[in-house]
Amino acid sequence: MWDDAEGHDEAERYGVTLDAIHSSTGGGGSHYVFRPPPGVVLLNKVKNIGDWPFEHCDTRGEGGYIVAPGSWHASGRQYTWSAPFDVTTLPDVPAALLNVWRTPASDPRSAETEWDESEGQPGDESALDGDDGQGTATALYYLNRYLHQVKEEEADRNPTGFFLALQLRDAPLRYDEALPYMRRFQVAVETLRWEKKPYDWKEAEASLKQAYQDPNRRRRSAPPGGSASPHGKAPPFDWRAKDEQANALLEREIVMKDFVVNSFIPHGLTYVGGRPKTGKSTLVMQVGLGCAREKGLVLGQGVRHGTVLMILLEDTAARTKRRLQQMLGFDAQLNPLPGPARLHIHYEWPTYGEGGLTYLSEFVAEYPDTVAARIDSASLFRGPVPRGGGYDIDYSLSHDLSLWVNREDISLLITTHTGKRKIGDSPDDDPLDLIQNTSGITAGADTVLVMRRQDGIMTLYRRGRDLEDNDPVKLAGDESTLLWRPDESLGAQSAHDAILYMLALASTPLTPHQLAVATGIKDNAIRVALFRMLNDRKERKVGVLLGGRDPQYYLTERGPTNAPPTMGDSQ
In this structure, are 337 and 474 located in the same domain?
yes
What's the chain's length in residues?
Answer: 571
Burial 84-122 (b: 16+ CB within 10 A, else e): eeeeeeeeebbeebbeebbeeeeebbeeeeeeeeebbee
Q: pLDDT tens digit string along 117-164?
A: 455 455 544 444 444 555 777 788 888 888 887 777 677 777 788 888
Query: In the listed set 170, 194, 213, which residue is the last one of a domain according to the structure?
Result: 213
pLDDT at residue 32 in the model: 92
Q: Is the pLDDT of residue 518 over 80?
A: no
404 three-state secondary structure: helix
Residue 493 has pLDDT above 60, yes or no: no
Is the confidence at residue 512, as pLDDT, over 80? yes
To 5 degrees, how large is the angle CA 509–CA 512–CA 513? 110
- pLDDT > 90: percent of the chain: 6
Residues 430 and 525 placed together within one structural domain of the fold: no
Label residue 223 by pLDDT band (50, 70, 90): very low
Mark whether 307 and 397 lie in a shared domain: yes
Amino acid in position 213: Q
Assess whether 17 and 158 both reside in one domain.
no
Cα separation, 178 vs 201, in Å, equals 14
Is-contact 467 260, C-beta < 8 A?
A: no
Kindly report, residue by residue over 355-373, the tens digit of the pLDDT: 788 889 889 989 999 999 9
Average pLDDT over residues 389-418: 82
In a domain, 394, yes or no: yes
| Closest by Cα among 166, 182, 293, 154 to 228 | 166
Side by side, which strands form the sheet with 268-274? 343-346, 307-312, 370-376, 411-417, 268-274, 447-454, 457-464, 473-477, 484-486
Pairing of strands 542-545, 552-555: antiparallel
Indicate whether 243 pLDDT > 50.
yes
**Confidence check: pLDDT of 468 > 50:** yes
Domain hosting 535: range is: 495-555
Q: Are the C-beta atoms of 207 and 213 separated by less than 8 Å?
A: no
pTM to 2 decimal places: 0.49
Q: Is the pLDDT of residue 538 over 80?
A: no
pLDDT tens track for 438-466: 677 777 788 888 888 877 788 888 888 77
Over 90: is that where the pLDDT of 514 sits? no
Q: Is 129 left (phi over 0), alpha (psi -120 to 50) or beta?
A: alpha
CA-to-CA separations, 341 to 269, 292, 306, 358, 440, in angstroms, rounded: 24, 8, 10, 23, 35
Residues 103-109 have a mean pLDDT of: 53
Last residue of a domain, one of 191, 213, 235: 213
Same domain, 485 and 514: no
Percent of the chain with pLDDT over 70: 75
**The residue type at 173:** L
Question: What is the reported pLDDT for 312?
Answer: 93
Return the HEC string of 53-99. CCCCECECCCCCCCCCECEECCCCCECEECCCCCHHHCCECCHHHHH
Q: Are residues 442 and 473 in the same domain?
A: yes
Same domain, 299 and 386: yes
DSSP conformation class of 490: G
Q: Is omega for the bond preceding 172 within 30 degrees of 0, making it cis?
A: yes
| 274 & 171 share domain | no
Beta bridge partners of 265: 261
Regarding whether 350 and 440 lie in a shared domain, the answer is yes
Residue 452 CA to residue 462 CA, distance in Å, equals 11
Q: Looking at residues 510-517, what average pLDDT do you find?
A: 83
What does the pLDDT read at residue 194? 56
pLDDT, tens digit (0-9, with 9 covering 90-100), for 17-60: 888 889 988 778 889 999 888 767 787 888 877 778 888 899 98
pLDDT digits (tens, 9 = 90+) for 54-78: 888 999 887 678 888 889 887 888 8
| Position 568 confidence tier, pLDDT thresholds 50, 70, 90 | very low
In a domain, 39, yes or no: yes
Asked, for residue 240, whether it belongs to a domain, the answer is no
Q: What is the pLDDT of residue 330?
A: 57
If you write DSSP's letter for every residue of 245-278 in order, what string do you get? Answer: -HHHHHHS--PPPPPSBTTTB-SEEEEEEE-TTS
Residue 220 domain-assigned?
no
pLDDT reading at 8 higher than 90: no
State the average pLDDT over residues 505-527.
78
pLDDT for position 290: 86
The residue with greater pLDDT, 85 or 232, is 85
Number of folded domains that form the chain: 4
Based on the fold, state whether residues 68 and 46 are members of the same structural domain: yes
- The answer to the question of residue 343 being in a domain is yes
- The predicted pLDDT at position 380 comes to 87
Residue 228 included in any domain: no
Q: Tell whether 402 and 297 lie within a shared domain.
A: yes
- Per-residue model confidence (pLDDT) at position 424: 54
**Measured CA angle at 78 (ends 76, 79), to 5 deg:** 140
> Residue 376: which CATH number?
3.40.50.300
Whether the per-residue pLDDT at 479 is higher than 60: the answer is yes
Kindly tell me if the per-residue pLDDT of 302 is higher than 70.
Answer: yes
Q: Cα(375)–Cα(384) distance, rounded to whole angstroms?
A: 16
Given this model, what pLDDT does residue 307 score? 92
User: Is 80 exceeded by the pLDDT of residue 552?
Assistant: yes
102 and 167 fall within a common domain: no
User: Across all residues in the chain, what is the average pLDDT?
Assistant: 76
* Residue 456: per-residue pLDDT: 77
What is residue 49's DSSP assignment? Answer: S
Q: Within a domain: residue 476?
A: yes
Mark out the alpha helices in 153-234 (DSSP H runs). 157-170, 175-192, 201-213
Choose between 6 and 567: higher pLDDT: 6
Q: How many CA atoms lie within 13 A of 237 on its CB side?
A: 6
Collapse the DSSP code of 432 into the 3-class scheme (helix H, G, I; strand E, B; otherwise coil) and give the result.
helix
- Can you give the pLDDT at residue 569? 35
In a domain, residue 566? The reply is no
Confidence of residue 233 (pLDDT cuts 50, 70, 90): very low
